[in-house]
Structure 1
Amino acid sequence: MNNDSTIFIGLDTHKSFTQVALLKDKRGEAPSSYSRIQSTKSAFIKLSQTLQSQFPKATLNFIYEAGPCGYWIYRLLTSIGHQCYIVAPSLIPKAPGDKIKTDKRDAAKLARLFRADELNAIYVPEAEDEAIRDLSRARETAMKDLKDAKFQLKGFLLRNNITATVKDNWSKKHLRWLTELVLPHHSQQIVLQEMIQIISERMQRLQRLDNELLYQVKNWRYYPVVKAIQAMRGVRLLVALGTIAELGDLRRFDHPRKLMSYLGLVPSEHSSGQKRRQGSITKCGNKRARRLLVESAHTYKHKPNISAELQIRQEDLSKEIIDIAWQAQLRLCRRYQRLMFLGKHRSVVVTAIAREMVAFIWAIAREVVIIPIDPRQRISRLPV
């Protein structure tokens, strides 16, 4: 046995247990099923210690699929000095005739494909970055729940032929008008009061999350990037925060085209021989960040202008960032009008604008200095 070799450990993770497979870095070596362990921190620490004692001079590479269990296994193994990689399940190659799927086969397949360099590891956010992302997603969920409750109440009023006499919907005056409604049946009155109470509770929930989000983002290490990309038109705080929370460090993309492809904003293609066919966008990657950018792209249908609100957002920013934002506004507004003049559908135009917005956001992010996280702090943030 070569003590200086690399050992690939495939992990088929589940909620309660994990199947382990080993593969040595030798030509012709076949993966072997090692054991099944509990999906607990103590079990993974014991596994790493046992393997390190069996292969004292070998490098241990752990590989497992991304899933609903999160990144705690990755953070645990890397904190004790081992190499760990997470791969996307959708990018794992599968043979057409492979109809047998077991935990042992899956773990062995991960180790074998990773040794053959057939798998690409995904980006794993820091624990702090994931926490901000969870808070941003919770705020979006609260907003969706509030809209659903409002739609239900509007539908209820429409079925009962009740028209609002207050123009300012969902203001305090409008809510008081709703509480003063008297319906002919007691059961309907109960339903109305329950709907009003649900809307009030969800509005308070949304306000709490907004306040917490505004407080936490100012202490986040990516706050300079969030503040910088707000120099662009159509990118306010929630859009900027949601985009960076989903994408993480934009400096990991060495070219903006890779970021466009990661977001699924590039056109699909099916070319062969002399024919080249391009279709709709691929819609790969993070759909939430893609949706936020597409929504922001609608603002470029107007003429270039620096509004008072945009000028306030650009305060305390460097001249280089402001110049990039103005250059983006000139180009994107002109491109929006030109594509509309050519007869393109509005959704196609907005998607094209969102794709080019990505390049300017990438350029702005590279102008911001981000303080890296101390590795000792990274270990201390692991959950106990």
Structure 2
Amino acid sequence: MKDLKDAKYQLKALLLRNNINYAGTANWSLKHLRWLTELVLPHPAQQIVLQEFIQTINERMDRLERLDNELSHHVYQWRYYPVVKAIQAMRGVRLLVATGVVAELGDLTRFDHPRKLMSYLGLVPSEHSSGGKRHIGAITKCGNGRARRLLVEGAHSYRYAANISTELQKRQESLPKQIVDIAWKAQLRLCKRYKKLINKGKHYNLVVTAIAREMIAYIWAIAKQIVLSPINPKLRLSRVPA
């Protein structure tokens, strides 16, 4: 994803230097890619560079699709797949986000309290104290940046009203009721909290970060439920080392 994003930035920079702007609304759609192939730049060397950028973007999009397919195929054989499957009951946590978070953090239940997990991810506010003064600053960002980024991406979905979509309902099928209940409780709270913070005039990035911080607490609760619950043996996490 980072390689693909870098290639897109490079192509956009080339177009900006030549005062070329896309009039459409959806960047990197099929219509946008067709528009790129029809561009004619002032200098032949620039045209070659443009074609190379377009080819690079197409190659990286194809590579990303191949990796997604391979990940979807192999994740079912992973010892942590029960947790990956279970935390997809959460809104904003699909297969790639769930797999990425668990791959980065491992056994979530090794944290005896969700606050410790929040600190590990660098999602807690920093503190600068001197004498009797206490100042709370931005989040520490001292933990796992990749897992933190995935959670922030998932947190954007809570800007909409609480709802069980068809896709989310499919992800929750065959999961124990306790896990579905935790996911619904999380959705009710986080959608309400998102709206409340926005209405208070909080910056959008601050709101999304606050939602991501609470998301990991509910994910931790679901992972703990999977390890301890005797309801569905197939969902129990084996204690065999990875």
Residues 328-381 of structure 1: CA distance to partner in whole angstroms, max 9, x if unpaired? 11111222222333333333322222221111110000111211226xxx7xxx
Whichever structure has more strand as a proportion of its residues is 1
Greater Cα radius of gyration, structure 1 or 2: 1
Q: 2 CA distance for matches of 1:330 and 1:314?
A: 16
Task: After TM superposition, give the deviation of residue 186 of structure 1 in Å.
Answer: 2.4
Which of 157, 162, 178 pairs up with 2:36? 178
Residue 137 of structure 2 aligns to a residue whose secondary structure is strand
The aligned counterpart of 1:287 is: 145
Deviation larger for 336-345 or 266-275: 266-275
Task: After TM superposition, give the deviation of residue 171 of structure 1 in Å.
Answer: 4.2
Question: 1:175-214 alignment to 2 at 5 Å?
Answer: 175-214=33-72
Task: After TM superposition, give the deviation of residue 147 of structure 1 in Å.
Answer: 1.9
Q: 2 CA distance for matches of 1:160 and 1:273?
A: 56
Question: 1:1-384 alignment to 2 at 5 Å?
Answer: 143-164=1-22, 169-271=27-129, 275-368=133-226, 369-373=236-240
What is the TM-score with the length of structure 1 in the denominator?
Answer: 0.55
Task: After TM superposition, give the deviation of residue 289 of structure 1 in Å.
Answer: 1.1
Task: After TM superposition, give the deviation of residue 187 of structure 1 in Å.
Answer: 1.9
Q: 1 CA distance for matches of 2:66 and 2:24?
A: 27
Change in 2 beyond 3 A, CA 1:162/1:244 = same
Residues 126-160 of structure 1: CA distance to partner in whole angstroms, max 9, x if unpaired? xxxxxxxxxxxxxxxxx122122222223323433
Task: After TM superposition, give the deviation of residue 225 of structure 1 in Å.
Answer: 0.8
Q: 1 CA distance for matches of 2:43 and 2:200?
A: 57
Q: 1 CA distance for matches of 2:113 and 2:225?
A: 14
Residue 352 of structure 1 aligns to a residue whose secondary structure is helix
Amino acid in the other structure paired with 1:355: R
Deviation larger for 357-366 or 294-303: 294-303
Amino acid in the other structure paired with 1:315: E
Change in 2 beyond 3 A, CA 1:167/1:352 = closer
Structure 1: runs of 5 or more not aligned = 1-142, 379-384
Please say if residues 340 and 349 of structure 1, whose CA atoms lie closer than 8 Å, have aligned partners that are also in contact: yes
Residue 280 of structure 1 aligns to a residue whose secondary structure is strand
Q: 1 CA distance for matches of 2:73 and 2:114?
A: 31
Please say if residues 256 and 359 of structure 1, whose CA atoms lie closer than 8 Å, have aligned partners that are also in contact: yes
Task: After TM superposition, give the deviation of residue 165 of structure 1 in Å.
Answer: 7.0
Amino acid in the other structure paired with 2:127: E
Structure 2: runs of 5 or more not aligned = 227-235
Residue 210 of structure 2 aligns to a residue whose secondary structure is helix
Whichever structure has more helix as a proportion of its residues is 2
Relative contact order: is structure 1 or structure 2 higher (C-alpha 8 Å, sep ≥ 6)? 2
Amino acid in the other structure paired with 1:223: Y
The aligned counterpart of 1:381 is: none
Task: After TM superposition, give the deviation of residue 189 of structure 1 in Å.
Answer: 2.4
Change in 2 beyond 3 A, CA 1:180/1:354 = closer
Residues 275-295 of structure 1: CA distance to partner in whole angstroms, max 9, x if unpaired? 443332222211111122122
Give aligned pairs, total. 233
Q: 1 CA distance for matches of 2:111 and 2:221?
A: 11
Residue 277 of structure 1 aligns to a residue whose secondary structure is strand
Q: What is the alpha-carbon root mean square deviation over aligned residues? A: 2.4
The aligned counterpart of 1:84 is: none
Determine what percentage of the aligned residue pairs are the same residue.
72
Amino acid in the other structure paired with 1:331: R
Change in 2 beyond 3 A, CA 1:273/1:226 = same
Change in 2 beyond 3 A, CA 1:163/1:224 = same
